[in-house]
Chain A
């Protein structure tokens, strides 16, 4: 038996301390023994409470619907800071995976959650994060059926990393995919862009600016269901996270071999996001979002889908921002506010504040 394992077992045997709110995560919590069980029963089971999870078996057993297809998605979250205006890593972990499933037309059903905790992490923080996941999961209507917890030594991980994997069910009749954009389609956007990226940057504090901007972090599956009620003919959906709207649209243009033509004046950006971007030299088209989607639908369906989006709280700012055409394929072009044309390329590297 090697020394590390000896150490964790020793901790489990020698220090079976009762858990209190001021305690920190220690290596023993990841040992798989009583302390791990106590951590799970105290911090994970109550917020995530559901029969499947509470069975406590090695794997969750679920029953699949008889028809339709399944969608799976996985996402790991390492956001810093853990808490920011408009959200936190817990909400992000749930919404990120829920949204990825919704973007292919799936109804999210089950999530798993894997945690890697840093030795010394405050249990109060863990409680907050898990509580936030519970709220987000309830809002999205998903249940967390399986989980895992590991504890890494101090400084081997930055406080808390979470991975969520999700399974969703795609009803018959939905064909959504990045390669499905067709010339003539209308491009719809669910609301203003750039909120999340600016909110997190401000919360990090390195650039020392204050703003009222909050992250737009939200689960979009119910918005998507409303869209499908209006029309089954939704060709493409994507949530523009890292890399922003520009990157997502470039991916779609390339996959579908079409050109996407945008109108700069149609793309909504909050004033404070514009101001932050101007100050730092950022382009809002490349700033991350966590509660927005872009969709491509046949032009005859656009008005109905738009109306459906606007009837929801996360889509009330929905608008048309462009059209899909045939050529030149693989490009995203934008008519600027003053009537010129600009090519919107993918983001190259990390966006950094500039002086030039």
Chain B
């Protein structure tokens, strides 16, 4: 596959790994903020190939993991309504709420459908005028333009039976929380490449400067990830703290202006609760007043349940890079992908799920097998 296969070339990856080895002289802690990057690192075994001085911690870059329990419970309540066709990206189906998950709602007779694109949900609404179609609009900035377009399309088609349940979160506020924490260990950031494809990386120089932390926009293939690590390591060794772009084939400084314009038209910033972390001010998006008729939370009167998180779960500390999955007593024992206790195990992109899946729960597994 063009623009994919070249970035999985073992020889080129090792050129960059050699570069990292030659550059690094002391230990550094780097955070990758994107669940997709966590997934790629563990799937290709990249962390094992890095020099021991580089420690990678995994950030809260999984919109599935950070969706608050209250909102999942609302989605289950809405999906259980007989007139509703509940549509969602596949990721959300297995996420347990306080009682069950969307899979169980489907098994009990709820009309729950996986869609690949939000425009597919709009099509379903168009073809089922007698039913209420609700789309679970989760995601970071990358997914906001598609979710926003679905609302604009529904409006232009005059659909009265389409609404979205919004759970959008933004990366920069989360970075402030992590870097501003007194316990913060993160010294360098690998910024999420596809978030930046939409938003650009103009928001990062002030963050880099404020906290004295290099931020490198990084892609998702093995070559992209090691390149991002190399550039972050170089900056740290040289005492620089700038925002750099290691994913120039996709990301520009300004980002995608048409996409940003549509986000601004449809959404406005709001406070959002991040599961495991708490409420981060201005860290989310909600529908603007003029699109209120497409807001499923207003359309459906569902009671907010006060959910309880498991006392064993340390997802909050993992999401902020303070702990690793195997630091948790429940990891791989009481807490598994089939029976997740918290945010980072529920989605396959969560740090705990990625670690479990690729086997870091094998006791005593060394760096080199």
Contact = CB atoms under 8 A, between A and B. Distances in A.
A binds B: yes
Interface of A: 206-209, 271, 274-275, 278, 280-281, 328, 331, 333, 336-345, 348-350, 352-356
B351 to A, nearest CB: 12
B89 A331 contact: no
B362 A331 contact: yes
A338 B222 contact: yes
A335 to B, nearest CB: 8
Interface stretch (B41-49, B285-293, B299-307): B41-49
B264 to A, nearest CB: 22
Interface stretch (B6-14, B161-169, B232-240): B6-14
A208 B360 CA distance: 36
Contact of B337 (A278, A336, A343, A349): A349
B14 A339 contact: yes
Contact of B44 (A333, A336, A349, A350): A336
A340 B113 CA distance: 37
B330 interface: no
A337 B10 contact: yes
A278 B8 CA distance: 13
Interface string B13-57: 110000000000000000000011001001111111100000000
A207 B115 CA distance: 6
Contact of A343 (B49, B338, B359): B359
A333 B42 CA distance: 13
Contacts of A274: 1
A348 B369 contact: no
List the 4 closest pairs (A to B, CB-CB), nearest first.
A340-B45, A343-B359, A352-B90, A356-B349
Nearest to A348: B337
A340 B349 contact: no
A338 B35 contact: no
B44 A343 contact: no
Given A354-B348, A356-B347, A342 B44 contact: yes
Contacts of B357: 343, 345, 348
Interface in B119-145: 120, 138-139, 143
B193 interface: no
Given A278-B4, A280-B116, A338-B222, A355 B44 contact: no
A352 B1 contact: no
B36 A356 contact: yes
A344 B358 CA distance: 6
B1 A343 contact: no
A43 B10 CA distance: 57
B243 interface: no
B114 A353 contact: yes
Nearest to A334: B45
A349 B45 contact: no
28 contacts: A207-B116, A271-B1, A278-B1, A280-B116, A333-B359, A333-B369, A338-B13, A338-B46, A339-B45, A339-B49, A340-B44, A340-B46, A340-B47, A341-B45, A341-B48, A341-B368, A341-B369, A342-B45, A343-B359, A345-B357, A348-B357, A349-B338, A352-B91, A353-B114, A355-B63, A355-B90, A356-B35, A356-B39
B359 A331 contact: yes
B313 interface: no
B359 A206 contact: no
Interface of B: 1, 4, 8, 10, 13-14, 35-36, 39, 42-49, 62-64, 89-91, 93-94, 103, 113-117, 120, 138-139, 143, 222, 337-338, 347-349, 356-360, 362, 368-369
Given A336-B45, A355-B143, A206 B62 contact: no
Contacts, number: 107
B90 A342 contact: no
A352 B44 contact: no
Contacts of A208: 116-117, 120
A67 to B, nearest CB: 45
Contacts of A336: 43-45
Contact of B362 (A337, A343, A356): A343
Contacts of B115: 206-207
Contact of B358 (A328, A338, A345, A348): A345
A354 B93 CA distance: 10
Nearest to A349: B94
B304 to A, nearest CB: 26
- Which of A342, A343, A345 gathers most chain B CB within 10 Å? A343
B91 A338 contact: no
A271 B1 CA distance: 7
Nearest to A355: B89
B302 to A, nearest CB: 24
Contacts of A207: 114-116
B93 A352 contact: yes
A342 B365 CA distance: 11
Contacts of B103: 350
Contacts of A278: 1, 4
Contacts of B44: 336-338, 340, 342
Nearest to B39: A356
Contacts of B13: 338-339
A339 B46 CA distance: 8
A356 B348 contact: yes
A83 B278 CA distance: 50
A352 B64 contact: no
Nearest to A207: B116
Nearest to A280: B116
A342 B46 CA distance: 10
Contact of B91 (A331, A340, A349, A355): A355
- Which of A275, A328, A345, A354 gathers most chain B CB within 10 Å? A354
Contacts of A344: 359
Contacts of A338: 8, 10, 13-14, 44-46, 49, 222
A342 B368 CA distance: 11
A336 B226 CA distance: 15
Contacts of B35: 356
- Which of A337, A342, A356 gathers most chain B CB within 10 Å? A356
- Which of A274, A333, A344, A348 gathers most chain B CB within 10 Å? A348
B90 A354 contact: yes
Contacts of B368: 341
A339 B10 contact: yes
Given A209-B116, A345-B357, A348-B357, 9 more contacts: A206-B114, A338-B14, A339-B45, A339-B49, A340-B45, A342-B44, A349-B338, A355-B138, A356-B35
